[in-house]
Every structure is written in C-alpha cells, then in structure tokens.
C-alpha cells in the first residue's frame, strides 16, 4: 500500500498529481500547513518536518524529487519517467529537478507574504520575483525550441517532468504572472486541463497555504 502525507498547494502536490497519473491505489493523509509538521510523529516520516512523505510497502521516503524518480521507476509501464538509456533521460532529469529551482523562489515568497506578513522584506520580494521571471524565461525558451510537436518539455511527450515543473509554476503564479511568456502560459493551460491535475487541487474542505490567488509585488 502507498500512503502519501500531503500539504495542499505545497511540493507534495506534484507527488499527488503523479500518483493520479500512475493510476495506482494509494491512501492520502492531508496535513495542515501548521506546526503539526514539526510533531515528533511526523518527524519520523520526514526529518526536516516538510511534506511530502511517502510510505510504500513499509518503507518511508521524503523529498519530492526522489519520490518522483522512484515512482516512475517503480511503475515504468505508465510512461511518466525515462529510464537510463532512454533518449530523453538527460532532459527528463534536468526538468524534474529544475522544478526545485522554481519552487525554492516560490517558497521564499510564500514565507515573505504568508508567514512573515508585516515583517516581510520588500527587497527580498523583488529579488525573488525577478528570479522567478528568470525561471519562466528558461521554460519559455525550452518550449519555444523549433522541434516537431513541442507541446511538452520533452521531445517524447508528456511526462513527470511536466508535472514537477507544472506544480512549481502553480505555486509561482501566486507571485509572478505568466502574461509575458506565451509558450509557458499555453503549456501550463494544456497540462492543467488534465484530470490528474484537477484531482490534485485542494478540496473544498482542505486547508490551504494561500489565502488569495495572487500576492502583488511591492511598489517600486
């Protein structure tokens, strides 16, 4: 049995999205965005007190990138990964882990806007938004590469790379819009039409990290 410990709208959303695509049985345990992640019980599952944590056949995993790689290798028939020797293996690894670069800047802005509030730094907000835009530009450039059927990050089509980067962009859009990046915006719309994404969104009774859809940057 697979059990995912999940905080809605956090990095664990990418694992939930992937599990939905893999279409394997799993149990979901939603954790609130509060001090329960620092509880002694949860720290046995994720020693840094962060989601996600995954239990599978009695073993425990943490770190979303590692979980994504493991699940794709565990269920290769679903086509979400690229095994060693595959044509797209290098690009798959790059983009699966580039998601963490995007997420790190979105997480810094989450701390500034959601956690610190009045104590937040306007300078930090501006810097992190600029870094998100740089990440957007990198994704835009990838999606603008003149190859046939460049609808997804990999030449071979939709994969866990799109899931990981897509979830990171989902978080980032709370702080930096996609208006200036047409290929990125079209790609994001394309991948978020999938039922697997829709089923990974917070339910009506779920706790949420973000109280609003967009947190504007400070005035210059």
Q: List domains and CATH numbers for the chain.
A: 2-78 (3.40.30.10), 89-198 (1.20.1050.10)
The DSSP code sequence of the chain is -EEEEE-TTSTHHHHHHHHHHHT---EEEE--SSGGGGSHHHHTT-TTS-S-EEEETTEEEE-HHHHHHHHHHHSGGG--S--TT-TTHHHHHHHHHHHHHHHHHHHHHHIIIIIIGGG--HHHHHHHHHHHHHHHHHHHHHHTS--TT-SSSSTT---HHHHHHHHHHHHHTTTS--TT-HHHHHHHHHHTTSHHHHTTSPPTTS--S-SSS--PPPP-
pLDDT digits (tens, 9 = 90+) for 9-32: 999 999 999 999 999 999 999 998
pLDDT digits (tens, 9 = 90+) for 43-74: 889 898 889 999 999 999 999 999 999 999 99
- Is residue 87 very low, low, confident or very high in pLDDT (cuts 50, 70, 90)? very high
Is the model's pLDDT at 219 over the cut of 70? Answer: yes
Rounded to two decimals, what is the model's pTM? 0.95
pLDDT digits (tens, 9 = 90+) for 120-150: 999 999 999 999 999 999 999 999 987 766 7
């Amino acid at each position: 049995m697979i059990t995912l410990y999940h905080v809605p709208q956090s990095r664990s959303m990418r694992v939930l999205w992937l599990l939905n695509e893999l279409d394997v049985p799993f149990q979901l345990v939603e954790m609130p965005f509060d001090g329960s992640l620092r509880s002694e019980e949860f720290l046995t599952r994720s020693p840094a007190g962060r989601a996600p944590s995954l239990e599978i056949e009695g073993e425990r995993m943490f770190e979303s990138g590692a979980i994504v790689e493991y699940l794709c290798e565990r269920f290769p028939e679903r086509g979400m990964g690229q095994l060693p020797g595959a044509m797209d293996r290098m690009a798959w690894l790059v983009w699966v882990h580039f998601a963490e670069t995007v997420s790190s800047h979105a997480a810094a802005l989450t701390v500034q806007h959601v956690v610190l509030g009045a104590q937040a730094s306007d300078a930090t907000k501006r810097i992190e938004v600029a870094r998100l835009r740089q990440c957007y530009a990198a994704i835009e450039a990838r999606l603008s590469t003149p190859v046939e059927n460049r609808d997804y990050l990999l030449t071979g089509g939709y994969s866990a790379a799109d899931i990981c980067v897509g979830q990171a962009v989902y978080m980032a859009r709370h702080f930096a819009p996609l208006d200036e990046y047409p290929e990125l915006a079209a790609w994001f719309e394309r991948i978020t039409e999938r039922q697997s994404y829709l089923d990974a969104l917070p339910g009506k009774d779920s706790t949420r990290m973000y109280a609003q859809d967009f947190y504007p940057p400070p005035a210059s």
